[in-house]
Homo-oligomer: A and B are copies of this chain.
Amino acid sequence: MATRKLSIDQQGDFRYTIGPYAEPVLEIEPGETVAVETVDAFGGKITGDQDRPSEALEGSHLNPQSGPIYVNGAEKGDTFRVTIESIEPRGPQPRGTTCLVPYFGGLTATDRTAMLHDSLPEQVNMSDVTTDGIAWDDETTIPYDPFIGTIGTAPEIDSVSSVTPFKHGGNMDLPDVRPGNEIHLPVNTDGALLYLGDCHAAQGDGELCGVAVEIPTVTMITVDVIPDAPIEWPRIESDEFIMAVGSMRLMEDAARIAYRELIEWMVDEYGFETYDAYMFLSQVGSVRLGNMVDPNYTIGASVPKSYL
């Protein structure tokens, strides 16, 4: 199929909430490939060590999203399938941004885990990023291993902050949302309304300080619709594994959701009995911690395809 494009200019205003109330910026057919120009999670507002995140950023307008993209024919109850073709860094160097944002991160008090502490110090680390690697500092290069931090379809009537992951996908910060893998998302409204952004050049498990190596990109995705195939939570399929994704606060509840969804998948599509799958995953299941910093934490539970 032909390749479509969603450029920064076509986008115009970026979105900060994922829901059914925004006008689509692009309309496509199932099967089409789209090249989406994304901005980084700070909308490019942090450009160097001299910037203070607390001054550069505004509370309710974080994590700008491209979209929504309307996919013709997608209807509530379908499954939306996104194949990630490639993620290329975009824009001038240093294009990789990492920083400490006050009261945000895994080892700090936050507005959700409220305490009386002063905030941790603000700090910025800019890095040159190419597909050959991330120049973290003078001595250290981190492999370029990009993925989409935030991708989701509109909920039916709610409009969810782009900072929050939930059933619709959203800010999962899960490195398995990477080129070569397929992401399945629920369709809750006509056209599905896809949003994406927040691409990362690399990220460790949990996105500990709350910020990965944030980069603007050109992200190529191919979009399909599986009719009449409702799913409740996102799913990921790679060559090696199938993975169910749960996003919740408590982290243990995210893990429970992911594993229970994986069991249901194994029962529905691979002929397992529920309790056999439960005992079998106890021996061969893998858990990936996406983030431990967002309003909901994200965990992916997977099983190798070789066992299915």
A289 partner residues in chain B, CB cutoff 8 A: 255, 287, 289
Binds B, one of A23-31, A45-53, A219-227, A277-285: A277-285
Say yes or no: B259 contacts A208, CB within 8 Å.
yes
A297 to B256, CA, bound (A): 13
Binds B, one of A67-75, A79-87, A105-113: A105-113
Binds B, one of A36-44, A191-199, A209-217: A209-217
A16 to B116, CA, bound (A): 29
Say yes or no: B209 contacts A278, CB within 8 Å.
yes
Within 8 Å of chain B (Cβ to Cβ): is A268? no
Please, how many residues of chain A have a CB less than 8 angstroms from a CB on the other chain? 79
Smallest CB gap from A303: residue in B = B204
A159 to B19, CA, bound (A): 8
Say yes or no: B212 contacts A283, CB within 8 Å.
yes
Say yes or no: A205 contacts B286, CB within 8 Å.
yes
A99 to B261, CA, bound (A): 21
Binds B, one of A177-185, A234-242, A245-253: A245-253
Known contacts being A158-B159, A283-B213, is A278 close to B136, with CB within 8 Å? no
Within 8 Å of chain B (Cβ to Cβ): is A120? yes
User: Contact check: which of B115, B260, B274, B283 meets A202 at CB < 8 Å?
Assistant: B283
A136 to B292, CA, bound (A): 34
Say yes or no: A249 contacts B246, CB within 8 Å.
no
Smallest CB gap from A306: residue in B = B140
Smallest CB gap from A188: residue in B = B60
Say yes or no: B116 contacts A108, CB within 8 Å.
yes
User: Contact check: which of B16, B105, B246, B278 meets A100 at CB < 8 Å?
Assistant: B278
Contact string against B for A residues 149-193, beta-carbon threshold 8 Å, 1 for contact and 0 otherwise: 000000011111100000000000000000000000000000000
Smallest CB gap from A290: residue in B = B287
A228 to B263, CA, bound (A): 43
A115 partner residues in chain B, CB cutoff 8 A: 107-109, 117, 256, 260
Say yes or no: A158 contacts B161, CB within 8 Å.
yes
Say yes or no: A109 contacts B109, CB within 8 Å.
yes
A284 partner residues in chain B, CB cutoff 8 A: 142, 202, 204
Can you pick out 17 interface pairs between chain A and chain B where the beta carbons lie within 8 Å of each other?
A17-B158, A19-B21, A21-B159, A107-B114, A108-B116, A108-B117, A115-B260, A116-B260, A116-B263, A120-B275, A205-B287, A208-B281, A208-B285, A209-B281, A212-B283, A249-B249, A250-B251
**Closest 10 pairs (CB-CB, A-B):** A204-B285, A205-B287, A159-B159, A251-B251, A117-B117, A209-B282, A208-B282, A114-B260, A251-B252, A287-B289
